[in-house]
Structures are given as structure tokens and as C-alpha cells.
Amino acid sequence: MKSKDLILGAALLSALAPLQAQQPPPATGPQPVMRMMRPPPPAMTGERADLAIELAGGMPVVSIMVNGRGPFRFGVDTGAAGYLRVTPALATALGLAQVGEVRAGDPSGRNPVTLPLYRVDSVTLGGLTYSGVSASALSLAGPRGSNIDGIVGIGFFENLLLTIDYGRLRLAAGRGTLPAANGRDVVDFTLDRGVLITLPLRIGDAVHPVHLDTGNTVRPLALPAEIAAALPTSGETRNIGRARTVSQEIVIQERDLTAPVSVGATRLPVTAVSFPSAASPGAIGSLALAGMAVTIDYPNKRLRIVPSVQ
């Protein structure tokens, strides 16, 4: 296979790291950029969002309004900490003023970068409107970035029941809960670094914790090389290209799996494992969820993945 440059999802960005607060700017004269502590959560009005999605390279994309303008195309990224990330082009078009800086990096924790922080008055997502939203710059470029105006992070849904239906091409978010985990369709998850959804993925007879990363459109399943080496596989190892995160470039390889991959009792459309992942413990991306309906009960740390009913 010819080598390709691949872009890992913004989901591979870690939580925005708080920076040291500086003294307030003077009341007159040039205003220096403030380095701010972790931004406060936005206020939400409305009861429920129910809107169409399209798939861009497998990633769910929705149309939203920003500061009353739009609609704009935003990817829904369950692995992106925080709320909103906007492309520099959109920040310029909307005239967003920079109010601070945030430090971000991929899950490896290496080579963090500093990104502009903007204040957005309102974001409308279906029937939900958020006000006072902190938005950072979307730093990843490439083919995927050229097709979207930004990223909607998991923070918008941290108090809601979120369903991304890849089969029916719908997104729904509102009040509600999933039933208690039963090990079949509903499973418990944990939060890595207090933010990233980490679910139990069964590969054959073994269970591996992995991030749920709908912004990752590179390959369905990525694991650390040492874990991939211990899985039941067949065939030759293939070089499938290079992937870039915000701070590193990775040469990606792949092998075919000889064991089924599932979450609870639901088998996922995953037939190969790529490695290495950007960081431990690995991730499943949107390509692993094709044809599935994924429901995330973030407050209760429960998740359901079942085949979509069309």
C-alpha cells in the first residue's frame, strides 16, 4: 500500500492544561493576552438536541450556529476535552477576540503547544444553546481539517445523555440515563485523566481498556505496539502511512486480527489492529462504530453500543 499522511483526530488532544494566571491588563492602552486558568463551563438553555449528522471520513459532523451565524460544520469528537475548537479561518471570519492561551498536547504528554483561547457568546446545537463558551484554536491541519470549521468536544454533553447513531445518521442529546450496566448492551466506563472515556474492549478472550475517540478517523482500532504484538493476528505487517497529532508524527503499521472485537455483547466491524497508538491505552475510532448507535451516559459513566435500527 502506498504510504499516506493521515491526521489523527482532535480527540487525541489531552485536556486543556491550566496556565498560570497573570495580573489583569491595564484599563487603557494595549491589552496583553491573558493566560487563564481552566475556563468555566458554559450555561445551557433548551431541553434536547435532535439533528442530522453526516460522516466525514467516518467522523460525525453536525451543523451548528456560532454567535448567531452559520450554519457551520463541526465534527463531534468524544475524545476532545472541553467544549469548542475553531479553525483559524472561522475565528477570523467571526471576528473572535483572543482572550487568553491554553496549553494542549496529545495523550503522550510530550511537546505541549500553546493555543489561542477565544470567548464565544453562543453556540446553538439543535435545540440546545450554550452561552459563554470558551473556544480554543483547532491546531490540526490536513484533509480532515479542510472540510470542517471546528470540533464540538465532550464537554457539551457532560451532563446529558448523548446518542450518536451512525446508521440513521442522527445525533440526540438531552436529559436521561442508561440502565445499570449488564455486561451485554450496557457497560461501565472510566475516565482517563478525568476526561477521556475509557471502555472495556474485548478482543478474543482478553479485555483491553481503550479510549472512545469519534474524532479519530485514521483506523478503527489503534493499540500500543506491545499490546498489538500479543493479539491473535495473521498475515504480514503492513506499513499504512504516517499519522500526525498536535505534537508528533507516527509511522503506522497494521496486522489482520483473527479474533472478534466487541464491547459487551456487540461485535464491532474491526478486522485489523494498527499500531502504535499515539499513547496508551489505545483507542477505537469512528470507523469501528460504522452501523452502530452509541449512547453515552457521561454523568453515570455508562455506555451502550448496539447495531443501529434503521
Reported as a single tens digit per residue, the pLDDT across 16-73 is 333 333 333 444 443 333 333 456 789 999 999 999 999 998 999 999 999 999 999 9
More confident residue, 245 or 297: 297
In which band, very low, low, confident or very high, does the pLDDT at 137 lie, cut at 50, 70 and 90? Answer: very high
d(CA 9, CA 205) in angstroms, rounded, equals 29
More confident residue, 140 or 76: 76
* Angstrom distances, CA of residue 29 to CA of 25, 32, 189, 232: 9, 9, 50, 65
Amino acid sitting at position 166: Y
**Residue 282 pLDDT > 50, yes or no?**
yes
Residues with Cβ < 8 Å from 74, sequence gap 6 or more?
A: 61, 62, 63, 64, 84, 148, 149, 150, 151, 152
Predicted pLDDT of residue 110:
59
Predicted pLDDT of residue 39:
63
**Residue 11 pLDDT > 90, yes or no?**
no
Task: Enter the DSSP assignment of 299.
Answer: T
Task: Give me 288's grid cell.
Answer: 469501528
Predicted pLDDT of residue 4:
33
Mean residue pLDDT across the chain: 84
Mind listing the pLDDT tens digit for each residue in 168-189?
999 999 999 999 999 999 999 9
More confident residue, 3 or 175: 175
User: Which of 119, 142, 109 is CA-nearest to residue 14?
Assistant: 109
Predicted pLDDT of residue 29:
42
